Amino acid sequence: MKKRTMLGMVGLALGLIATPAGAAPKSDSVVWSEWETPSFMSGTLAKDNAVDPQTLVYRYIDEQAGTFRLGGRAAERLVLLSKQTDDLGHTVMRFEQRYQGIPVFGAVLVAHVKAGALTALSGTLIPDVEKHWKRGKTISSQEAEAIAERDVAASIGASPVKEQGNPTRLVIYPTSDTVHLAYEVNVRFLDPSPGNWVYLIDAAGGAVLNKWNELDEAKPGGGQTVAGTSTVGTGRGVLGDQKSINTTYSSSYGYYYLQDNTRGNGIFTYDGRNRTTLPGSLWADSDNQFFASYDAPAVDAHYYAGVVYDYYKNVHGRLSYDGNNAAIRSTVHYGSRYNNAFWNGSQMVYGDGDGQTFLPFSGGIDVVAHELTHAVTDYTAGLVYQNESGAINEAISDIFGTLVEFYANRNPDWEIGEDIYTPGIAGDALRSMSDPAKYGDPDHYSKRYTGTQDNGGVHTNSGIINKAAYLLSQGGTHYGVSVTGIGRDKMGKIFYRALVYYLTPTSNFSQLRAACIQAAADLYGSASQEVSSVKQAFNAVGVY
């Protein structure tokens, strides 16, 4: 959620997301990728009530072999990852493209089947892999990990103290003119500063093909549980407001703990004690009254995590960030005067701020909701945190951070981070959804950032999508295009459905537009005002 982070990044070579064509108008029913294959299709693509949905998808792609160019072997090259029925009666399937059993990086296809009809395909598949394929490797996974760790050390100026990350795996990594056998390496660490780097290392020689930091931050620039009785405590937050919070009393220890047993598999808040070890100690109090100034960040982190849980459950029917009631864990008082907050892939982490640039980060409800929405994205679309897919990732977090703020009715507005940013300066924020240009972010595709800093502008180009979402909700005229607003609730439902049921790891802005149009059609009908307003909103920011 940071305003800017100037990272020296290797430019993304992956053709399907390196320079997505978003400036030229496209058909609403088909969006074409740079590979000249479909990245989004909708309509009645195929229909047969006599076969199961998965078979229908395979058969359609094989019948369209000249379009998808998978060699007419869809059942072999598309492996089913998940299958579910949504609340509209769609059978939604996610497939991963593989070749000779090896995953193709970022190549995920989402298919919708309803009443025997294939109605949508979303996601970019890499065609003709066999024409460029050169199997074989000359380095080991351990050598690839060592290369990544040395590169991280050179980037941050010190050797990282590694945490357990995702296991290294072999992938096929496509570039603009070929495909590589590569190792996907995750280097996760907290010291000397937090990082969650992803590397693509060429297995044939050890070259760094790509890298980016996936740490979802909030700024510019082994946890235990307890057995006991559920209780309700009272405390004061960072901004001085009083709150009731769900706690657990342990008669064995004689303390009240910040453990909420009423939501899913629990909400747990820990004291980092100004160190950098996670998660710290489960927060304990002797009288269930949390009014000390040291308590304030914990009160807000605990309370707002519950609000975010309630929003996703009550508005979207989603149970925690993973959809399966995962425990929500947060650590406050991380580091010393630490001007940051982040989702590290498994939990929330909040610094105290320096008191001038930032207050304790958990004091901003939109900050908490923004970061936990990154977790929702991790468990749904899995948007790659780089270039346009990364900007969508950031915008989704801004959108739902704002919607949670309105849901809780806590001085809601369309600014991001205003409650904890520069306490001595009134009226400013990290970003603005209603007017991204106020803080130097683009509000139109023609003004997008095209460099390599900030993972290709993920916290900059998010302004384009933020503006589209604001216009869709509130209406207005932008760049001469008039948009009829449909309200926050409908806007949120459309973006949520697009995220969960249509977007894939490498989705770009054009695919997001198509996904939102289709989501609106699913929810409100293809001839609805909602569909028209989605088109108007994306037209207004120059995304086609």
pLDDT in tens, the chain (544 residues): 443 322 222 222 222 222 333 433 344 589 999 889 999 999 999 999 999 999 999 999 999 999 999 999 999 999 999 999 999 999 999 999 999 999 999 999 999 999 999 999 999 999 999 888 777 788 999 999 999 999 999 988 888 888 888 899 999 999 877 899 999 999 999 888 889 999 999 999 999 999 999 887 654 433 468 999 999 999 999 999 999 999 999 999 999 999 999 999 999 999 999 999 899 999 999 999 999 999 999 999 999 999 999 999 999 999 999 999 999 999 999 999 999 999 998 999 999 999 999 999 999 999 999 999 999 999 999 999 999 999 999 999 999 999 999 999 989 999 999 999 999 999 999 999 999 999 999 999 999 999 999 999 999 999 999 999 999 999 999 999 999 999 999 999 999 999 999 999 999 999 999 999 999 999 999 999 999 999 999 999 999 9
- Tell me what pLDDT residue 28 has: 53
CA atoms of 348 and 340, how far apart (whole Å): 11
d(CA 322, CA 318): 8
SS3 state of residue 332: strand
User: DSSP readout, 59-94?
Assistant: HHHHHTHHHH-STT-HHHHEEEEEEEE-TTS-EEEE
The pLDDT, as a whole number, for residue 19 is 30
459 catalytic? Reply is yes
Rounded-to-integer distance, Cα 309 and Cα 312, Å: 6
Report whether 312 contacts 369 (CB < 8 A): no
Looking at the structure, give the CATH architecture of the domain made up of residues 28-132.
Answer: Roll (3.10)
* pTM for this prediction: 0.91
Domain boundaries, the chain: 28-132, 229-378
Chain-centre distance of CA 286, in angstroms? 38
- Identify whether 360 is preceded by a cis peptide bond (ω within 30 of 0): no
Beta bridge partners, 99, equal 102
The catalytic position among 302, 333, 459, 478 is: 459
CA distance 134 to 179: 8
At 390, list the tokens.
């990364």
Q: DSSP letter for 460, please.
A: T
Other C-beta atoms closer than 10 Å to the C-beta of 464 total: 29
Q: Residue 144 carries which side chain, given as an amino acid letter?
A: A
> Given this structure, which CATH class describes domain 229-378?
alpha beta
Among 45, 2, 20, 92, which Cα is nearest to 498's?
92
Contact 104, 126 (CB under 8 A): yes
Q: How far apart are CA 301 and CA 298, in angstroms?
A: 5
What does the block give as tokens for 239?
């901004």
What letters, b where the CB count within 10 A reaches 16 and e where it falls short, cover 254-278? ebbbbbbbebbebbbbbbbeeebeb
Two domains, one topology: 28-132 and 229-378: no
Catalytic residue among 371, 394, 415, 530: 371
Can you tell me the distance from the alpha carbon of 368 to that of 280, in angstroms, rounded to the nearest whole number?
Answer: 19
Asked whether the beta carbons of 439 and 432 are under 8 A apart, the reply is yes
Strand partners, 91: 85, 113
- 371 in active site: yes
